Each structure stands twice: as structure tokens, then as C-alpha cells.
Amino acid sequence: MRSQRNNKSINYIRAMKMIKKKPKLNKSVFGVVFSFLLFIALLAGVFFFIEFRSDRIKNEISEINEYINDEENRELYNQSIKNHNTLTALEAQKNELVELFESWNNNPGLSGQQLEQIINSSETQITITACYYDADRSELSLELTTINADQIYNYLDKIMNIDIIGNIDYSGYKVTSNGYSLTVTCHILATAEGDE
């Protein structure tokens, strides 16, 4: 009987040890489960944030596409591109004219009034696309375009009759898709400063 009592007391001690071990096991399982749930919640939060940002970006892109595809906005954009190109061309012409007038002011042989006379000799069908003046050589080069070849000879006759023009270098015209183009170089005669 005594051995049975010892047995029972030993079993009792074992049972107590087992009961004490169970909570430790439950705490570690709870920690793992809690960490896993926290990780899942974090992933879900990141997913929903990405979805939210994605929807906002899609909406912004949709608004931009609507704006771009609006016919009125497209016309305004095309007009602004044309205006920009025109402005760029005018700026280049302005810079050329400023350089040209500066060189004229340094040369008493050709006044602005005389240059105006040369330019105004052109017919309405002749367009002066560029004008260069070399003060050292006293040469005025004009690049011209026209849609009527007969107008070229009329223009050459008119500028030959201007007093300050000595002679003219002209090597013919080129046929272009828009008509004819040519370059005329006028040799300017020295004039007295009082003629201006």
C-alpha cells in the first residue's frame, strides 16, 4: 500500500509539472499567432494603401486624358505651338535686322533710307526672306522668293536704277516646291554723308 501511495504522490508531482508546462507552451503559440495576425494586418494595410493610390492615379490620368482629348483644348495647344514657332522665327529675323542696322550705322555708304528704297523696290509677288550687309566689302545680299519668274527680272531692273547700286551679281534662280528662289548681291557705291 505504501508503494501505491508513493506512486500516487509521484503521479501528483508529475501532473503538477505538466500543468506548469502547458501555459508556457500556450504563451509561445499565442505569440506566434499574434505575430502572424499582425503581419497579415500589415500586409492588408499595405495592399489597401496601394489600391487607394492606384485608384487616385487612375482618376488623375483619366482627367488628364479628358483634358487632352477635349477638342477646344487641342485647338488651343496647336495654336500655342504655331504662335511659339512664329515667335521663334520673328526673334531670329529681329536679331538679323538688329545686326544689319548696326552694320549700316557704322557705314556711311548705306543709310537706312537707302536700304528701305532697295527693299521697297520688290514687287508684291517678290518676298525678301533674308538680307545681309557686308560693310567691309560694301555688299548687300538679298535672298528672294517668288511664285512668278517674270517678277525677278522686273525687280532686278528696278534695283539697277537705284543710284547707290554699282552692279549686281545674280546667277539665276532655283525652282522650289513653292516657286522660285534666288540670291542677289548688290555692290553699294560710296556716297557722301550729306546724301542721307
Domain ranges of the chain: 1-69, 107-195
- 138: closest CA among 179, 97, 166? 166
pLDDT of residue 100: 67
pLDDT of residue 165: 85
Q: Taking the domain 107-195, which CATH number applies?
A: 3.30.1360.100
CA–CA distance, 177 with 56 (Å, rounded to integer)? 51
Residue 73's pLDDT is 85
Q: Identify the residue with better confidence: 16 or 44.
A: 44
Going by pLDDT thresholds of 50, 70 and 90, the confidence category of residue 106 is low
Q: What is the pLDDT of residue 51?
A: 93
Stated pTM of the model? 0.43
61 C-beta neighbours (distance < 10 Å), count = 10
Q: How much is the average pLDDT of 87-102?
A: 75
Q: What is the pLDDT of residues 119-166, one digit of tens each?
A: 777 666 777 888 877 877 888 888 888 888 888 888 888 888 888 888
Under 8 Å CB-to-CB from 126, ≥6 apart: which residues?
A: 144, 145, 146, 151, 152, 155
- H/E stretch holding 131 reads strand 126-134
